[in-house]
């Protein structure tokens, strides 16, 4: 599967699905264990190959077991015993590299397992923290849920979910963190009775915080312009306690498909406006132009902030992909600018760490709109959401950046702009 993913530049989930269909005899436990090996191999693809002196999938797997899972050389050798279903024994060269291979002289793109062409941009964001942040992006992501305050509070949820041994998330006031097993797998939360009842949603703490930082208030008219599956739409409804008018839409109508069931389950109230597909597609928000109090733009982006969850994505990323996303971000920000009323706000969010998609996108809107908009100071944005978060974010020229090493979340960026006239 590692070879298939590398050679065909395809998503890991697709390769795993195809393998499962071709190997139906494999049980669910085996499939999960194999998926865990594949994803960990992708997380440490460059560094594992470096210490092993080869870029083969076998070398990546061996190196990953040492770097990512912390296994000792004798333990790894015992797994490669040539027995039934086991890989061939380690060669003398592999044993030597496993024992003595080092990242001491590795360049940052190798030691940090990242495409070399994004490093100048990331260096501008992280400075001296670049390597720790890259390494944090290579670790497994935690499993977080957002308690649905429309149905219960967090203390009640702790009691109801005691069998999952949840812990409080460090920053999000309605978040809980579910422990993972040694193999990196968590429980099947989507089949828990509490999930089916709509008592919680599976959502990274960073995404929860981004919703809070929107500053949404009861009584406001709020447009979730890139709503997708509706995670932030549900969060906005809970934040306003169903006392605002929330309109959710997305340029891709297919992405909106899950939102209806999620609204039903959670008890959240929102108006869904689904555009027509194809050439007949019309703007479904024209009646709202100039009247909206707050527009949330959870913009399409490269997803560099989610590499912990999607390690295959970083190896597929190319400069052309970034250019496409930058163009899409400009379009959606311009649309948001027409929707918001004077005195209203645009809240711009990405799950990216690249300044081209973050500060530069905001600066582009300001340039195109002249004096119509002004950036809201980051301390004001933080005060509206979670004031205690300030020491755990990086302030940028236009907004704020969360990151795995500093915030303990996916890499979310948030900026707010207020319309002057």
Q: Would you call 351 a catalytic residue per the annotation?
A: yes
Which is catalytic among the residues 351, 382, 393, 402?
Answer: 351
CB 411 within 8 A of CB 351: yes
Using a 10 angstrom Cβ sphere, with 0-12 exposed, 13-18 middle and 19 or more buried, the burial of residue 182 is: exposed
In terms of Cα–Cα distance, which of 371, 408, 376, 410 is closest to 395? 376
Tokens of 210: 């981004």
**Does the residue 94 lie in any domain?**
yes
Q: Which residue, of 63, 86, 115, is where some domain finishes?
A: 115
Q: What's the pLDDT score for residue 280?
A: 60
**What is the spatial distance between Cα 268 and Cα 264, in angstroms, rounded to a whole number?**
7
The answer on 80 and 229 residing in a single domain is no
User: Do 108 and 211 have their domain in common?
Assistant: no
Domain that holds residue 29: 2-115
66 inside domain: yes
- Does residue 340 belong to any structural domain of this protein? yes
Do 208 and 176 meet the contact criterion of CB atoms below 8 Å apart? Answer: no
Supply φ then ψ for residue 374, to 5 degrees: -140, 145
Please enumerate, by residue number, every residue annotated as part of a binding site for S-adenosyl-L-methionine.
250, 298
In-domain check, residue 331: yes
Domain match, 100 and 225 both? no
pLDDT of residue 175: 97
Give a yes or no: residue 398 inside a domain: yes
DSSP letter at 274 equals P
Mind listing the pLDDT tens digit of every residue in the chain (421 residues)? 999 998 888 899 999 999 989 988 888 888 888 999 999 999 999 999 999 999 999 999 999 999 999 999 999 999 999 988 899 999 999 999 999 999 999 999 999 999 999 999 999 999 999 999 999 999 999 999 999 999 999 999 999 999 999 999 999 999 999 999 877 788 999 999 999 999 999 999 999 999 999 999 999 999 999 999 999 999 999 999 999 999 999 999 999 999 999 999 999 999 999 998 766 667 999 999 999 999 999 999 999 999 999 999 999 999 999 999 999 999 999 999 999 999 999 999 999 999 999 999 999 999 999 899 999 999 999 998 788 999 999 999 999 999 999 999 999 999 999 999 8
Q: Are residues 407 and 303 located together in one domain of the fold?
A: yes
**Full-prediction pTM beyond 0.75?**
yes
**b/e code 286-308 from CB counts within 10 Å (16+ = b):** eebeeebbbbbbbbbbbbbbbbb
Per the domain annotation, does 110 fall within a domain? yes
Backbone angles phi, psi at 227, to 5 degrees: -70, -30
Tokens of 22: 């071709």
pLDDT of the residue at 30: 87
DSSP label of 189: G
Binding-site residues sit at 250, 298
Instruction: Mark which of 87, 115, 143 sits at the end of a domain.
Output: 115
- Structural domains in the chain (count): 2
> Coil, helix or strand for 147?
strand
Q: Would 137 be classed as within a structural domain? A: no
Rounded to whole angstroms, what are the CA distances from 375 to 317, 357, 364?
30, 16, 12
Compute the distance between CA of residue 172 and CA of residue 191 in angstroms, rounded to an integer.
24
Same domain, 88 and 228: no
> Residue written as tokens 């594992």?
48
């Amino acid at each position: 599967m590692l070879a298939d993913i590398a050679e065909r530049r395809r998503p890991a989930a697709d390769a795993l699905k195809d393998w499962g269909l071709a190997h139906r005899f494999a049980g669910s436990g085996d499939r999960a264990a194999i998926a865990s090996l594949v994803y960990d191999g992708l997380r440490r693809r460059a560094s594992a190959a470096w210490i092993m002196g080869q870029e083969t999938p076998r070398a990546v797997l061996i190196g990953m077991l040492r770097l990512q899972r912390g296994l000792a050389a004798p333990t790894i050798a015992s797994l490669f015993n040539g027995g039934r279903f086991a890989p061939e024994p380690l060669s003398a060269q592999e044993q030597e590299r496993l024992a003595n291979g080092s990242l001491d002289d590795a360049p940052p793109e190798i030691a940090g397992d990242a495409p070399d062409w994004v490093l100048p941009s990331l260096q501008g964001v992280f400075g001296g923290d670049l390597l720790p942040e890259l390494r944090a992006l290579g670790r497994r992501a935690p499993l977080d849920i957002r308690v649905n305050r429309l149905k219960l509070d967090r203390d009640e949820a702790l009691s109801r979910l005691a069998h999952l041994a949840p812990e409080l998330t460090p920053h999000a006031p309605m978040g809980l963190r579910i422990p993972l097993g040694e193999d990196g797998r968590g429980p099947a939360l989507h089949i828990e009775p509490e999930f089916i009842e709509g008592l919680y949603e599976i959502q990274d703490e960073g995404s929860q915080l981004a919703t809070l930082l929107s500053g949404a208030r009861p009584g406001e008219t709020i447009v979730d312009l890139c709503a997708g599956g509706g995670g932030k739409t549900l969060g906005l409804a809970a934040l306003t306690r169903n006392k605002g008018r929330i309109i959710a839409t997305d340029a891709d109508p297919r992405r909106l498909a899950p939102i209806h069931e999620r609204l039903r389950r959670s008890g959240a109230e929102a108006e869904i406006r689904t555009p027509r597909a194809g050439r007949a597609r019309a703007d479904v928000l024209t009646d709202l132009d100039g009247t909206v109090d707050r527009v949330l733009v959870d913009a399409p982006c490269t997803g560099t902030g989610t590499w912990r969850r999607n390690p295959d994505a970083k190896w597929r990323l190319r400069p052309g992909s970034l250019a496409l996303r930058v163009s899409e971000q400009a379009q959606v920000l311009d649309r948001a600018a027409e929707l918001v009323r004077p005195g209203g706000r645009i809240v711009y969010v990405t799950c990216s760490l690249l300044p081209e998609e973050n500060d530069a996108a905001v600066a582009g809107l300001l340039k195109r709109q002249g004096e119509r908009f002004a950036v809201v100071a980051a301390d004001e944005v933080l005060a509206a959401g979670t004031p205690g978060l300030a020491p755990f974010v990086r302030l940028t020229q236009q907004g704020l950046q969360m990151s795995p090493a500093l915030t303990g979340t996916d890499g979310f960026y948030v900026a707010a702009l207020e319309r002057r006239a």
